[in-house]
Amino acid sequence: MIQLRLSEISEFVNGTLHGKDELVFGSVETDSRLVSAGALFVAKPGEVTDGHNFLESAKQLGAVGAIVERYIDDIDLPQILVADAVKALGKLAKAVLAEVRKDGKLQVIGITGSNGKTSTKNMLRAVFQQFGETVAPIESYNNEVGAPISVLKINRDTKFLVAELGAGGVGSIAYLADITNPDIGVVLKVGLAHVGEFGGIEVTSKIKAELVKALKPEATFVYNYDDGEVSAMTSLTQAHKISFGTNSEANYYFDKVDLSIAGTTADIHYPEGETSRLTLRILGEHQLMNATAAIAVADRLGLPRPAVRNALEKLELAERWRMQLGNRSDGISIINDAYNASPDSMKAALQTLAHLGKSGRRTIAVLGEMAELGEYSKEAHDQIGRLVVRYNIDRLVVVGQGAKLIHMGAMFEGSWDGESIYFDSSSEALEYIRGMLISGDIVLVKSSKSANLRHLGDDLMEVES
């Protein structure tokens, strides 16, 4: 973060400073374990614990001040008293971003969508880092706490800020868009992720559209032409519009896809007719959609196309546990995609696995629960099981009670006899899978984070002696 006095921060967040007016020259943290010299600690109440309990720890690690909701007078640490620490964090991020933008050098890109946010964010980071100091969130820092923390990583030399805007209900993306005020807003997809939490696809679409409505007329809206819900958002903004997708009517589109275990290749078409071949090391046709969105953003910023493509082609991993490929010494390949799962992303991963199986290698899908689907959960899990059969996946292993309907759906599809098996626990599944693997197998591990199959995927990378 830029250097600020506690008195300045107090004014930004409408707080009251108690103690010395120290200079904050380090980072802003909500986790006391991450505090270092010169930091500002934000003591927010949590579901499990309370940040106020860690003020002394933050001080010992080098914090020069804290934002608090209640003043702790027996700790010798300057404190800015506010009514709501999380809202104060957002106010501080908005103020710091406005200050840094005064010289006009910083470009802010805001990304939302039911799927692909993190992958696209990481692609843009890889591109932008070639051309200047870039700040992008780690992991999925995309909520009312994570997004402001990411914004506060900028300084006066930062040239690009990529903000990932996650949906937490109606008004959540509007709140984050108000903080970040993107120069370019990207909407990737409206899908069934979190649909149970929000109450339907219409509500999900409304939440994603909050980013579009927040765009200023001088901003740019980059959108998925293939997604009808997203394309319909063009009527909600006066911002400049750029589309991407697989349809040749889109400004940027891709075709002639070639998918193998080595990566994903396609022709990328630009608005004025230029065509270039792009080869990603990352698996999955859906990653081409994310890459095309990143190319559209980079093109809008005037970045040289060869350098943009080169950065994308060098990227070995979209993110940990997202289509993460590991090739074992015994000829078995593990694709660990068990950080997030929705019906859309599950389908995309299974399509990739099915395509890879066309090379003659045996395909095995290890699937767990797709969380936060609410009333759609039963039907969605059943349909995934049926898709596994229709895609001719060779074997299916379903793990966890919440995913059992995937197994049932596969069995009811009627094409299989024993190719699907269900286990209550990951440990049981791991033992079974290890016993049935043979050289040449390709194993996809896919679930929501809460199902914890990502750790099973890691364990499968170990070759037993």
Sign of CA dihedral 244, 246, 251, 256: positive
Largest CA distance in the chain: 73
Query: Does any domain span residue 99?
Result: no
Report the pLDDT value the prediction gives residue 193, as an integer from 0 to 100: 57
User: For residue 63, what are the domain limits?
Assistant: 4-83
Query: Does any domain span residue 363?
Result: yes
- Same domain membership, residue 49 and residue 21: yes
- Same domain membership, residue 385 and residue 260: no
Last residue of a domain, one of 253, 287, 314: 314
Report the pLDDT value the prediction gives residue 415, as an integer from 0 to 100: 63
For position 398, which CATH number holds? Answer: 3.90.190.20
Last residue of a domain, one of 83, 113, 132: 83
**233 band by pLDDT with thresholds 50, 70 and 90:** very high
- Same domain membership, residue 113 and residue 21: no
- Same domain membership, residue 350 and residue 268: no
For position 208, which CATH number holds? Answer: 3.40.1190.10
Between 93-102, 164-173, 301-310, 312-321, the lowest mean confidence (pLDDT) is in 312-321
- Residue 4 and residue 297: Cα distance in Å, rounded? 32
Name which of 332, 227, 354 is nearest 284 in CA terms.
354
- The pLDDT of 455-460, averaged and rounded, is 95
CB-CB contact of 80 with 9 (8 Å): yes
Query: Does any domain span residue 354?
Result: yes
**320 band by pLDDT with thresholds 50, 70 and 90:** confident
DSSP conformation class of 27 = -
Query: Does any domain span residue 418?
Result: yes
Both tokens assigned to 133: 């100091």
If one counts every other C-beta atom within 10 angstroms of the C-beta of residue 284, the result is: 26
Report the pLDDT value the prediction gives residue 214, as an integer from 0 to 100: 98
Query: Does any domain span residue 218?
Result: yes
- Residue 33 and residue 60: Cα distance in Å, rounded? 11
Query: Does any domain span residue 222?
Result: yes
- Interhelix angle 172-180/201-214, rounded to 10 degrees, is 20
- Residue 329 and residue 413: Cα distance in Å, rounded? 35
- Same domain membership, residue 282 and residue 164: yes
pLDDT cut 90: percent of the chain above it: 85
**316 band by pLDDT with thresholds 50, 70 and 90:** confident
- Same domain membership, residue 285 and residue 253: yes
CB-CB contact of 32 with 44 (8 Å): no
Report the pLDDT value the prediction gives residue 48, as an integer from 0 to 100: 81
- Same domain membership, residue 286 and residue 378: no
- Same domain membership, residue 254 and residue 342: no
Average predicted confidence (pLDDT) for the chain: 94
**Residue labelled with tokens 């170990």:** 462
- Residue 285 and residue 344: Cα distance in Å, rounded? 13
Higher local confidence (pLDDT), 321 or 102: 102
Report the pLDDT value the prediction gives residue 201, as an integer from 0 to 100: 80
Q: Tens digit of pLDDT for each residue in 180-217?
A: 999 999 999 997 655 556 667 888 899 999 999 999 99
DSSP conformation class of 140 = T
- Same domain membership, residue 353 and residue 306: no
- The pLDDT of 391-415, averaged and rounded, is 92
User: How many domains does one find in the chain?
Assistant: 3
- Same domain membership, residue 359 and residue 286: no
Report the pLDDT value the prediction gives residue 331, as an integer from 0 to 100: 95
How is 170-183 classified by DSSP, letter by letter? TTHHHHHHHHH--S
Our CA dihedral for 18, 24, 29, 34, rounded to 10 degrees, sits at -120
- Residue 44 and residue 85: Cα distance in Å, rounded? 5
- The pLDDT of 75-101, averaged and rounded, is 97
- Same domain membership, residue 55 and residue 139: no
How is 382-397 classified by DSSP, letter by letter? HHHHHHHHHTT-SEEE
> Please, which residues have CB within 8 angstroms of residue 336's CB and are 6 or more apart in sequence?
321, 324, 326, 445, 454, 457, 458, 460, 461
For position 41, which CATH number holds? Answer: 3.40.1390.10
Q: Tens digit of pLDDT for each residue in 443-452?
A: 999 999 999 9
Q: Tens digit of pLDDT for each residue in 112-165?
A: 998 889 899 999 999 999 999 999 988 778 899 999 999 999 999 999 999 999
Q: How far is CA 7 from CA 22, 204, 229, in A?
A: 8, 40, 45
Query: Does any domain span residue 465?
Result: no
Residue 319 has pLDDT above 80, yes or no: no
Both tokens assigned to 413: 């599809």
Higher local confidence (pLDDT), 192 or 22: 22
Rounded to the nearest 5 percent, the helix, strand and coil shares of the chain are: 40, 20, 40
If one counts every other C-beta atom within 10 angstroms of the C-beta of residue 190, the result is: 27
**465 band by pLDDT with thresholds 50, 70 and 90:** low
Name which of 280, 281, 269 is nearest 305 in CA terms.
269
Query: Does any domain span residue 275?
Result: yes
Q: Tens digit of pLDDT for each residue in 326-367?
A: 999 999 999 999 988 899 999 999 999 999 999 999 999 999
pLDDT cut 70: percent of the chain above it: 97
CB-CB contact of 190 with 205 (8 Å): yes
- Residue 188 and residue 268: Cα distance in Å, rounded? 17
DSSP conformation class of 443 = E
DSSP conformation class of 244 = E
- Same domain membership, residue 374 and residue 275: no
Last residue of a domain, one of 265, 287, 314: 314
Q: Tens digit of pLDDT for each residue in 253-294?
A: 999 999 999 899 999 999 999 999 999 999 988 999 999 999
